[in-house]
A and B are shown apart, each in its own frame.
Chain A
Amino acid sequence: MQSVLSKTLLYGVVLSTMIIIVGLVYMAGTYSSGYQCDFTSASLSCLLNYNANVIPHGDYPNNLASIASGLIQLRPFAIIQLGVIVLLATPVIRVFASLLLFAIEKDKQFVLITLFVLLVLLFSFFVVPEIPIFKA
């Protein structure tokens, strides 16, 4: 059990790191974030205070669809965000892996406990962002 969970986390972390480094190298190579306030036209503070409200055309890579479209256009920030998504998914995949391992060990109590945690996590990812009170 330990070695499977440890390896799951390791692969997630390594994959995420590699994607983020690719994004950073690409950004340094092209002198561009792929979005507004490129290195040529704007200052550091623009990049540092860059968020979904600053980008008027609404293509800021803050959901799977905009990240995907950013990736197709090879925008460096979209690549970095993909790495961040992999990092975010790592603990969830770890919980999923524990669920399978407890099931193999026929540990009913922990299958239920882990299933509960997994459902809460999936709920937080896919249902919660759609509920208006969370958007504030």
Chain B
Amino acid sequence: MFLTSLAAGAIGSIVGIGGGLLVTPVLTLIFGVDIHLAIGASIIAIIATSSGGAVAYIKDRITNIRVGMYLEMATTVGAITGAAIAAYVNSDLLFGFFGAILLFSVFPLLRKRSQELPHGVVNDHIASTLQLNSSYPELTTGQEVSYNVEGSVTALFIMYVAGLLSGLLGIGAGAFKVLGMENAMHLPMKVSTTTSNFMIGVTAAASAGIYFVRGDVNPFIVAPVVLGILGGAIIGTRILVKSRNSTVRKFFIVVLVGIAIEMIARAFGVMT
């Protein structure tokens, strides 16, 4: 459990996802844990990945805090809505549907797989009013990279859906957040993944209280998971700062395909 979580923390903190989709199947399939307890553990894992990773990313000024806070308005409301309707919807169907969406969103990423930084992005109205554009120190070249932000409204909508899924399915939906920032706002890849990492903790926290009170958080499972994830996040953050944007994107594509296949597999009842 500890070792799986270590890997999940490292991968999750690099590509901006919570690692819940790695922890959940290992708990249910290998350790025979009930799906509800596995989801409870993965929600806590998401918060650990986020807090553990963000310590370094905020200090290194890669995370765009303003973009993160702006988008959190939508993710938190989405998360509560999702938790509210969770009992009334068929989650198998949703897993299948959104797994397919993830699989299709690989294509725009593949087209710009070797792009290092976005070009020709002009701030939209919201971005200039809220000063969402920023810059970050790129360690691979030693330069300060400035970037603009567009698609602020579209991104807000995507984040609502991401939050909805997170509350509904007990996942961090970090993959959707990264896609929203990457394909709608056109941020540099590392800014997208670290800002997603920053946000998933708050989104997960919005539904974690519900899972905790319901009794889905088992200390015997959660303790090794949290310690593993935090250790993994420390390793992951070291790797990300030294990686190129295009490398991070390629790694994200691989993880994305894996997540999509897993979600579709769950729709067909492989895990429950």
Interface size class for chain A?
A: 35 or more
Contact of B84 among A5, A6, A133 (CB under 8 A): A133
- Nearest B-chain residue to A81, judged by Cβ: B219
Give the total of B residues in contact with A, Cβ under 8 Å.
Answer: 58
Fill in one digit per residue for A15-39: 1 if any B CB lies within 8 Å of its CB, else 0.
0110011011000000001000000
Fill in one digit per residue for B200-224: 1 if any A CB lies within 8 Å of its CB, else 0.
0110111111101111111111110
- Nearest A-chain residue to B215, judged by Cβ: A52
Q: Compute the total of residue contacts between A and B using a CB distance below 8 Å.
A: 174
Decide: B44 and A84 in contact? CB cutoff 8 A: yes
Decide yes or no: A128 and B219 within 8 Å by CB, A9-B58, A88-B205 being known contacts. no
Main secondary structure, interface of B, reads helix
CA distance A16 to B129 in the complex (A): 38
Decide: A51 and B84 in contact? CB cutoff 8 A: no
Contact of B217 among A62, A110, A124, A134 (CB under 8 A): A62
Fill in one digit per residue for A96-136: 1 if any B CB lies within 8 Å of its CB, else 0.
00100000000001100110110011011100110101111
Q: B72 within 8 Å of A by Cβ?
A: yes
Q: A73 within 8 Å of B by Cβ?
A: no
CA distance A33 to B221 in the complex (A): 12
- Nearest B-chain residue to A13, judged by Cβ: B51
Contacts of A9 in B (CB 8 A): 51, 54-55, 58
Decide: A62 and B213 in contact? CB cutoff 8 A: yes
Decide yes or no: A33 and B47 within 8 Å by CB, A13-B52, A136-B86 being known contacts. no
Q: List residues of chain B with CB under 8 Å of any chain A CB.
A: 31-34, 36-37, 44, 47-48, 50-52, 54-56, 58-59, 61, 65-66, 69-70, 72-73, 76-77, 79-80, 83-84, 86-87, 129-130, 201-202, 204-210, 212-223, 226-227, 230
